Structure 1
Amino acid sequence: MMKKFFSLLLLAAATAAVWVVLKPDKQGSGTLTVFCAAGLKKPVEEIALAYQKETGTEVRLQYGGTGTLLSQLKIARQGDLFIAADDGALADAKKLEVTREEFQLVKQKPVLAVAKGNPKHIDSLEALKKAEIKLALPNPEAASIGRVSKKLLGAEWNALAAKAAVMKPTVTEIAADLSLGAVDAAIVWDSTVPQFKGLETVMLPELAKHEEFATAAVLSFCQQSAEAMRFARYLAAPEKGGAIFQKHGFKAMPGDKWAARPDLILYSGGVNRTAIEKLLQQFATREGITMTTVFNGCGILCATMKTMGDSSNPKFPDAYYACDICFVPPVAQQFPESVVLTEAEIVIAVPKGNAQNIRTLADLARPGLRVGLCNAEQSTLGFLTKSMLKSMNLWDSVSKNASSQVPTADFLVNQMRTGSLDAAVVYRINIHNDSAHFDAVPLPADKSKAVQPFAVRHDSPNQQMGRRLLAFLREHRESFESAGFVWKGDTAPIKSAEIVLPDWLKQK
């Protein structure tokens, strides 16, 4: 279908596409205040120095046990970023409403640390209970590793705590005690061990399968969002913070490729524009990025992506917001998963009062009627309209009256305003705020619903940012509903390969 109308699509793409480039407000370099879990001190300190040298922005770091830092933030409500050592602390921060956007940095496991060579043959919880073994434990009220270990060990933790030689508020303090020989063993993160000389890891079965993520989160009271987001991206970038975390023995999580001001490219069906245009500007300002958005018919958008060949093209979109799920399969290789955000109803738009008494799709076949349809090769609405009419054996008769076939429904609505059309098949959204001039004639319910899925490209260098954009859109349901959409954004993601379309809607 795409090849047959290749030249037509290229022409339409050149004339009908709407490119929107959003630039953030100018952000000056200043000072960031970062509250960081003590176990991450060495790499974060090195990353902060590199960032300051590269950008000129000073990063002030305050270290402590994650629980202790969270208590400080709850009271002071000042600062820019919080780097938590575990998922539980991050969940607590959310409950307290002190954090916003999140950036996973590293993965950690709780382990037992002993002196190099394990001279006292400590290899189990039972061995730790021996009277002659001096054990250091992290305080569960202050340190994430303490809280996580206590939860995992249950009653065993109580037994160990009762005989512990020392219990301290940060993982680095007990690791330092072990490194100096003051104790024989300590429960720490696996990433803590390589940061201290003379230590090695013992994997305890009770702890071995558990993983936690250290995460940087922008604080809800941060006054310089774009700068905080930029440092968070730097922390997570594989070639920046990620490389330094790896050097210090941490297992870094995949982040986005570093750019001081990245450009996020979004392809969006034209119907979505009224709901998301302002949100995209807000997102770009918050993130301190540039956003390039192309609004067009999804047939054109898919054809453009196909013309690029593959996603190695730097202009290939990072995210795709289609007008209907049926235009995801053509690009499923690049967008293997999507989330349906909204639903839009397809209707027949007629001038106010409906003087022609149009009640059904069959009425559009009346001789002399001037009908507006979207082009089936260029737009989702056009494809859905043609498929619907064909399934009802009406395509040939109605298309004879189609005095206009355009890429998007906005063109049709404008033509109706000028009086050059008697009726047009559009989304109800297109006339949602113009009830003074138009009436909407409903269509068969089982065939007149378009659902709009949002997908992030699987190999995008801005994949995490694309996911944050999706989360941001899902937080603003009211913007979609005020534009006339039906909200569907709370549904689970769907695999592109598993999308099943009815026979009448399958692309031939």
Structure 2
Amino acid sequence: MTGCGGDKPGNGSDTAGGGAVRGSITVFAAASLTESFTAIGRQFEAANPGTKVTFNFTGSSALATQINEGAPADVFAAASPKNMAVVIDAGNGAGTPTTFVRNQLVIAVAKGNPKSITGLAGLTTPGLKVALCADAVPCGAAARTAIDTAGVKVTPVTLEQDVKAAMSKVKLGEVDAALVYRTDARAAASDVDAVEFPESAKAVNDYPIVALKDARNAAGAQAFIAYVLSPDGTRLLTGAGFQAP
């Protein structure tokens, strides 16, 4: 186990393979990582017989609070450096966080874009129902930056605590549009269309990952991070629409 924990990340799946790691690994990860990390978890377990990866997916701000309040976790993957800093500044990180991907916003709309939304200005149309993430979570902070950059006033009918909740509002037809990550729109492509807009380039989120100081499976935490940073992990993440850092 000690040897596995000391390996340098990013050297391919062999870094985390070979059965050197055992036991349960608990990963707290931003909601927007749900599909990608679930797939990475399956691949990691296959490469490391005897391991079990358990995930807690929700908004990064809520995860940071849970960690600082003592929730048992081995790894934290946040959707912004700001939320990661909450954990690091509290002394709960083990080492320096590594940025492993970036993500960009799109406007999620119903299939066929029935409201003919072409950009942020379209979200100001009277009567149009818009969902945003709350400012405290990374997708909300990014949305606020993009909206301010565009110089428009968007009045949401709901503020959600993570990006999946905002996306759900569009899928259920409860709102006409939502600002979500490109990766979430791609994951829901059978239900929604994605409208790109130029101001999103001013609100790209970096995603940092770190092992936690009180990790119950420190070697497993390091091995999981190594797998995320490996070519196999990177290939899966970029295939889902994330950008390389």
Q: TM-score range by the shorter chain?
A: 0.7 to 0.9
Q: What secondary structure does 1:356 align onto?
A: coil
Residue 460 of structure 1 deviates from its aligned partner by 3.0
Which residue of structure 1 lines up, in the alignment, with residue 229 of structure 2?
474
Which residue of structure 1 lines up, in the alignment, with residue 199 of structure 2?
444
| Cα distance between partner residues in 1 of 2:97 and 2:122 | 37
| Cα distance between partner residues in 2 of 1:422 and 1:287 | 45
Residue 406 of structure 1 deviates from its aligned partner by 1.7
Q: 1:101 to 1:441 in 2, by over 3 A?
A: closer
Which residue of structure 1 lines up, in the alignment, with residue 41 of structure 2?
280
Which residue of structure 2 lines up, in the alignment, with residue 342 of structure 1?
101
Select 1:431's aligned residue among 181, 185, 209.
185
Residue 387 of structure 1 deviates from its aligned partner by 4.0
1:66-92 deviations in whole A, cap 9, x for unaligned?
A: xxxxxxxxxxxxxxxxx9xxxxxx9xx
Which residue of structure 2 lines up, in the alignment, with residue 370 of structure 1?
129
Select 1:303's aligned residue among 57, 61, 65.
65
Which residue of structure 2 lines up, in the alignment, with residue 319 of structure 1?
75
Unaligned runs of 5+ in 2: 8-12
- Give the share of equivalent positions with the same residue, in percent: 20
Residue 436 of structure 1 deviates from its aligned partner by 7.2
- The letter for the 1-side match of 2:56 is V
Residue 290 of structure 1 deviates from its aligned partner by 3.1
Query: Pairwise mapping of residues 34-73 of structure 1 onto structure 2 (< 5 A)?
Result: none
Which residue of structure 2 lines up, in the alignment, with residue 384 of structure 1?
142
**Residue 92 (structure 2) pairs with residue 330 (structure 1):** no
Contact preservation (8 Å) 2:64, 2:83: yes
Which residue of structure 1 lines up, in the alignment, with residue 10 of structure 2?
none
| Cα distance between partner residues in 1 of 2:51 and 2:191 | 39
Query: Pairwise mapping of residues 248-259 of structure 1 onto structure 2 (< 5 A)?
Result: none
1:413-459 deviations in whole A, cap 9, x for unaligned?
A: 33223322111101111121516741323241442311211111245
Residue 468 of structure 1 deviates from its aligned partner by 1.2
- The letter for the 1-side match of 2:236 is S
1:153-195 deviations in whole A, cap 9, x for unaligned?
A: xxxxxxxxxxxxxxxxxxxxxxxxxxxxxxxxxxxxxxxxxxx
Q: What secondary structure does 1:444 align onto?
A: helix
Question: Larger Rg: 1 or 2?
Answer: 1
Q: 1:353 to 1:100 in 2, by over 3 A?
A: closer
Q: What secondary structure does 1:340 align onto?
A: strand
Which residue of structure 1 lines up, in the alignment, with residue 168 of structure 2?
414
Q: 1:287 to 1:467 in 2, by over 3 A?
A: farther
1:342-366 deviations in whole A, cap 9, x for unaligned?
A: 1111011223443433333233222
Q: 1:370 to 1:100 in 2, by over 3 A?
A: closer
Q: What secondary structure does 1:274 align onto?
A: helix
Which residue of structure 1 lines up, in the alignment, with residue 110 of structure 2?
351
| Cα distance between partner residues in 1 of 2:111 and 2:198 | 18
Q: What secondary structure does 2:55 align onto?
A: strand
Residue 463 of structure 1 deviates from its aligned partner by 2.6
Contact preservation (8 Å) 2:80, 2:206: yes
**Residue 44 (structure 2) pairs with residue 262 (structure 1):** no
Residue 393 of structure 1 deviates from its aligned partner by 5.4
Structure with more relative contact order (C-alpha pairs < 8 Å, separation 6 or more): 2
Contact preservation (8 Å) 2:160, 2:166: yes
Q: What secondary structure does 1:465 align onto?
A: helix
1:240-275 deviations in whole A, cap 9, x for unaligned?
A: xxxxxxxxxxxxxxxxxxxxx633221100111111
| Cα distance between partner residues in 1 of 2:175 and 2:207 | 27
Q: What secondary structure does 1:328 align onto?
A: helix
1:139-165 deviations in whole A, cap 9, x for unaligned?
A: xxxxxxxxxxxxxxxxxxxxxxxxxxx
Residue 101 of structure 1 deviates from its aligned partner by 4.3
Contact preservation (8 Å) 1:373, 1:412: yes
Q: What secondary structure does 2:104 align onto?
A: strand
Contact preservation (8 Å) 1:348, 1:443: no
- The letter for the 1-side match of 2:45 is A
Contact preservation (8 Å) 2:105, 2:200: no
Query: Pairwise mapping of residues 114-263 of structure 1 onto structure 2 (< 5 A)?
Result: 218=18, 225=19, 229=20, 262-263=23-24
Which residue of structure 2 lines up, in the alignment, with residue 144 of structure 1?
none
| Cα distance between partner residues in 2 of 1:318 and 1:464 | 9
Contact preservation (8 Å) 1:374, 1:382: yes
Contact preservation (8 Å) 1:361, 1:443: no
TM-score by structure 1 length?
A: 0.41
| Cα distance between partner residues in 2 of 1:418 and 1:100 | 42
Q: 1:328 to 1:357 in 2, by over 3 A?
A: same
Across the two proteins, how many residue pairs are aligned to each other?
228
Q: 1:443 to 1:349 in 2, by over 3 A?
A: farther
Provide the aligned C-alpha RMSD in A: 2.8
Contact preservation (8 Å) 1:350, 1:441: no
Contact preservation (8 Å) 2:60, 2:79: yes
Contact preservation (8 Å) 2:106, 2:179: yes
Select 1:485's aligned residue among 211, 218, 242.
242
Contact preservation (8 Å) 2:100, 2:229: yes
| Cα distance between partner residues in 2 of 1:415 and 1:461 | 37
